[in-house]
């Protein structure tokens, strides 16, 4: 794993830890989880747009969501 990959993994892990700890602190309601997911997806769209401007290819072209109620509610598969 390169130094850059190590830093990226740390960012991913800390983001996940923060999200789960937020839900534990504030209660994991469907509304809270939906709001968090929408916020994350908006930022992911901005990151993809910036990567495209820079001519960079990202690992994922679309959000990695579990299919089911959340995906259907948000217009996904």
11-43 pLDDT per residue, tens: 999 999 999 999 999 999 999 989 999 999 999
User: Taking all residues of the chain, what is their mean pLDDT, rounded to a whole number?
Assistant: 85
Percent of the chain scored above 90 by pLDDT? Answer: 53
Q: Report yes or no on 67 lying in a domain.
A: no
Q: Report yes or no on 48 lying in a domain.
A: yes
Range of the domain at 40: 29-55
Task: List the one residue out of 66, 17, 14, 3 whose CA is nearest residue 37.
Answer: 66
Burial class (CB in 10 A: 0-12, 13-18, 19+), 44: middle
Q: Report yes or no on 71 lying in a domain.
A: no
Our count of domains for the chain comes to 1
What whole-number distance in Å separates Cα of residue 69 and Cα of residue 48? Answer: 25
Considering only CA atoms, give the Rg of the chain.
15
In this prediction the pTM is 0.67
**Does 25 or 59 have the greater pLDDT score?**
25
């Amino acid at each position: 794993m390169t130094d850059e990959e190590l830093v990226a993994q740390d960012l991913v892990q800390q983001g996940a830890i923060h999200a789960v700890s937020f839900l534990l602190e504030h209660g994991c309601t469907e509304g809270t989880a939906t709001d968090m997911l929408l916020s994350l997806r908006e930022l992911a769209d901005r990151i993809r747009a910036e990567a495209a401007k820079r001519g960079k290819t990202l690992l994922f072209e679309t959000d990695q969501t579990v299919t089911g109620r959340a995906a259907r509610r948000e217009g996904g598969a």
